Chains A and B, each alone.
Chain A
C-alpha cells in the first residue's frame, strides 16, 4: 500500500477524489448507481479514453500533442474516401486504414519535431491549425451521412434490460477502448521500448548517451498517439453515425486535462494507463452527475473547472512534498 502511494501519488489521490464523488452521487441522485447509467457513462467515455492512452505515450516521452483530435477528424474524412475507393470495406480494412492514416499524421508531427528541432507544443499548435484548415478547405466543411453500413451499425457486445424497462448495454467502442488500454499498457510497461520512452522523457540527454535513439522515441510516441487518434476517429463515427469536420475540434483540451489529472507529467517520464482512465472518468462522472442532479446547465463549466482544479491541486501538494523529501532542487 505504501509502495503504491509512493509510486503513484497522483493516481491514488485522484482515485480518492473520484470515489468521494461517486459515493456522493450515489446518495444524492438515485438514478446514478443504475446499470443503465453506468454503462452509458462507459460507452460515452470510450473515445476520450482511446485518445487519452495515445496522448499518454507522448507525454511520457516528454512531448505534448494538441493536434490529435483534429487528426482524428482528418482520418475520418480520409477513411470515407478510402473506403469508397476500395468498394465499401469492412472492419478489418477500417482499422488498417484508420491506424495507417493516424500513424502517418503522427509521423508528420514527429518529423517536424525531430528533423527541424522545433518544440513539440509549437509543432502541434501549427499542425492543429494546418490539419483543420486543410480539412475545411478541401471538404468545404461538408457533413457526410452516407457512410458504409458496417461502419455505422451499432454493435452491442453485451445488453440487459433493467427493472425499470431501460436498456443497459456495452457497445463496440468500449471493447476497442479496452484493447487500446491493454496495448498501451503492454507497450509502456512490458517492452524495452516502453522503458526507453520513460527514460527519454525523464532525461533526453542521459537517454541519448546510453544509446537510446531520440528519433526513434519521437516517432514511436507520436506514431502511437496518431494511431490511437485514428482508432478514436473510427469509433466516434460508429457512435454518432456521421462525419462532421468540426465535431472533434476542442476535445483535445479536455483529454489533455484528463491525462494530466491522471498523473502524467507535462515534463515527461511519468504517467500510467490507470491514471488516464481515472482522469477521463472524473470529468465524465462530474458532467453526468450534474445532469442527474438537475444542476442548471449555466453552472456546468464552472463546476467542472472547479473539480479539475481541486483534483489537480491535491496531486500537486503531494508532488511538492515528495520533491522536498528527496532533496531535489
Chain B
C-alpha cells in the first residue's frame, strides 16, 4: 500500500514535472525560513536569488508571516505539492517538521536544513557555527570587556528557542569554568525578540542590580534594546552589551559604544550555501570529508547525524559594522 502510494505520488510528481519542465528544466528549490520580512531573512533571500541565477537553479524563499511551526509545515506541504526538487528549511521547531519532511523525502525530494542539527529527516544540515563556539566566542568577548569579573544578565529570544538556549548554556558554562569571578544574575530572560521588552527588562535588571556590568543577549533584538537602555541610563562604558544583532539596526549603538560587539554569520552566505548544496544534491555530487563548498570552506561532514558544522563567524564591531550594514543586513 505504502509503495503504491509512493508510486502514485512519484507519478503525480512526474506528471507535474512534465508540465512544469516543459517551460524549463532547471532544478527547482524552495527554502522555507522561520519568518519573512525581517532583515536577516531578507539578506538570506538575496543570497538565494543571486546564487540561483549564478548556478541556474530556480530557487526561491518562503517566509511565513509569523514564527509558527504550523505555517512552516503548510509551506512545505505546498512545496511537495508543487513537486520541487529540493526543499531547504530553517526550522522554528525541529520536531514539528519531522513528519512533513519524511513525506518530502518519500516523494524523492532532497532536504537541506540550516540551524536544525537535530532534524532526522534530511539529506544534510549545514551550520555556519556550532552552538558551542558561538556561545563561547560571545562569552569570551564579554569577559574581556568586563575584565573577567562582575555580574551579568543573559537574554534569549524566547525561553523555548532551542538554539538560543544552547548558545546561552555554552556561554554560561564557559564563563563559570574560566572566569569564576563572573556571576550571572537571575534566570535567563526570554525577551530578545522585542526591542521594547529588552529595553524595559534591561532598565529593570539594572535597577535591581546596581553593580551589573554586562548583558549577554542572544536574539537579534536583545542587544538593541539593552543598548538603548544603557544609553538612556548614561552607562556606556560601565555596562557592556554583547550579542548577535543586525548591523544596520545597531550601527549607531555600536558607534556610540552602547553595544560593545557581537558575532554573526552572514545570512546572505547561508542563502548561497542553501542553493549550492541544493544543486549538488540535485546533481548527485557527493559531499565527503574535504569537499570544498563555497561559503563553508573545506567541510568535514558527520555522516551519522548528517550535519556539516563549520566555523564562519564574522565579528560585528565599530570597524566592521558599516560594511555589513551596507550589505543590507
Chain A residues with a Cβ under 8 A of chain B: 29, 31-32, 34, 36-37, 40, 44, 133, 136, 139-143, 145, 154, 164, 166-167, 169, 236, 239-242, 244-247, 287-288, 291-294, 296-298
Q: Which of B37, B188, B194, B201 has the most CB of A within 10 A?
A: B37
| Cβ contacts B102-118/A at 8 Å (1 or 0 each) | 00000000000000000
In the assembled complex, 22 residue pairs joining A and B whose CB atoms fall closer than 8 Å, in A order, are A36-B233, A37-B203, A37-B207, A40-B207, A44-B200, A136-B36, A143-B246, A145-B248, A145-B251, A166-B210, A167-B234, A169-B232, A236-B196, A239-B196, A241-B228, A245-B37, A247-B196, A291-B205, A292-B204, A296-B187, A297-B187, A297-B189
| Cβ contacts B188-222/A at 8 Å (1 or 0 each) | 11110011100111011111101000000000000
Determine if A298 and B196 form an interchain contact, defined as CB atoms under 8 angstroms apart.
no
Which residues from chain B contact A141 at a C-beta distance below 8 Å? Answer: 36-38, 63, 65
Identity of the chain A residue whose Cβ is nearest the Cβ of B39 in the assembled complex: A143
A296 to B188, CA, bound (A): 8
Count of residues in B whose CB is under 8 Å from the partner chain: 38
Q: With A166-B233, A297-B188, A297-B189 in contact, is A139–B205 under 8 Å at CB?
A: no
Which of B195, B206, B207 is A242 in contact with, Cβ under 8 Å? B195
Which of B194, B208, B225, B246 is A292 in contact with, Cβ under 8 Å? B208
Q: With A29-B208, A297-B187 in contact, is A143–B249 under 8 Å at CB?
A: yes
> Which 8 pairs, one residue from A and one from B, show the smallest C-beta to C-beta distance?
A141-B37, A291-B204, A296-B187, A292-B208, A37-B207, A31-B207, A40-B203, A240-B195
Which residues from chain B contact A247 at a C-beta distance below 8 Å? Answer: 194-196
Chain B residues with a Cβ under 8 A of chain A: 36-39, 42, 63, 65-66, 159, 185-191, 194-196, 199-201, 203-208, 210, 225, 228, 232-234, 246, 248-249, 251
Determine if A166 and B204 form an interchain contact, defined as CB atoms under 8 angstroms apart.
no
Determine if A34 and B207 form an interchain contact, defined as CB atoms under 8 angstroms apart.
yes
Which residues from chain A contact B190 at a C-beta distance below 8 Å? Answer: 297
Determine if A291 and B37 form an interchain contact, defined as CB atoms under 8 angstroms apart.
no
Which residues from chain B contact A140 at a C-beta distance below 8 Å? Answer: 36-37, 42
Determine if A31 and B208 form an interchain contact, defined as CB atoms under 8 angstroms apart.
yes
A32 to B248, CA, bound (A): 35
Which of A242, A287, A297 is B249 in contact with, Cβ under 8 Å? A242
Known: A143-B39, A242-B195, A246-B37. 15 other contacts (CB 8 A): A141-B38, A141-B65, A142-B42, A143-B38, A145-B248, A145-B249, A164-B210, A242-B249, A246-B66, A287-B204, A288-B204, A291-B204, A291-B208, A294-B186, A296-B186
Determine if A298 and B203 form an interchain contact, defined as CB atoms under 8 angstroms apart.
no
Which residues from chain B contact A40 at a C-beta distance below 8 Å? Answer: 200, 203-204, 207
Which residues from chain B contact A136 at a C-beta distance below 8 Å? Answer: 36-37, 65
A40 to B232, CA, bound (A): 10
Which residues from chain B contact A29 at a C-beta distance below 8 Å? Answer: 208
Identity of the chain A residue whose Cβ is nearest the Cβ of B185 in the assembled complex: A294
